[in-house]
């Protein structure tokens, strides 16, 4: 009888000792601001939970104008694989590219910058991204 109780206790302890995998957590926000002078600014932030980052490289990169295309922006989104899952996988693989594509999608969906936009500052670091920009004024 003691043997069965001991075996049951050992099985129960082994079964409870493993923890289930946490689902990946991806959060993003597009924060907008219109100054008193009418200038339109935005900040896009994306974060992949620390448990899901893996060994991604990172670092800070900044500057005006973005990459190829001179930061004109305002075009259609880059197709980040839909909302949620595709973006999360891309954030693990290439934080900068995924964040830029998703930001472009959000700006296009919201039509916040109808005349285009340019990047003021970009910061990318191990599963997180922050991109600050300004909308282009209407020509006229």
Geometric angle at alpha carbon 120, from 71 and 27, rounded to 5°: 95
- What is the pLDDT at residue 70? 36
- What is the pLDDT at residue 95? 84
Task: Tell me the three-class secondary structure of 83-140, residue by residue.
Answer: CCHHHHHHHHHCHHHHHHHHHHHHHHHHCCCCCCEEEEEEEEECCEEEEEEEECCCCC
- What is the pLDDT at residue 111? 95
- What is the pLDDT at residue 114? 95
- What is the pLDDT at residue 11? 66
* Cα–Cα distance measured from residue 82 to residue 55, given in angstroms and rounded to the nearest whole number: 24
Spell out, as residue ranges, where the chain has pLDDT lower than 50. 52-84
pTM for this predicted structure: 0.59
- What is the pLDDT at residue 106? 95
């Amino acid at each position: 009888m003691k043997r069965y109780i001991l075996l049951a206790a050992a099985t129960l302890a082994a079964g409870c000792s493993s923890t289930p995998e946490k689902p990946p957590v991806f959060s993003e926000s597009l924060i907008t601001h219109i100054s008193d002078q009418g200038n339109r600014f935005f900040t896009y932030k994306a974060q992949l939970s620390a448990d899901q980052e893996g060994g991604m490289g990172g670092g800070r990169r900044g500057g005006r104008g973005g990459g190829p295309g001179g930061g004109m922006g305002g075009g259609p989104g880059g197709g980040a694989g839909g909302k949620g899952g595709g973006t999360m996988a891309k954030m693990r693989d290439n934080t900068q590219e995924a964040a830029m594509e998703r930001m472009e999608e959000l700006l296009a969906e919201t039509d916040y910058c109808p005349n285009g936009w340019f990047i003021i500052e970009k910061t990318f670091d191990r599963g997180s991204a922050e991109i600050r920009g300004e909308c282009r004024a209407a020509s006229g």
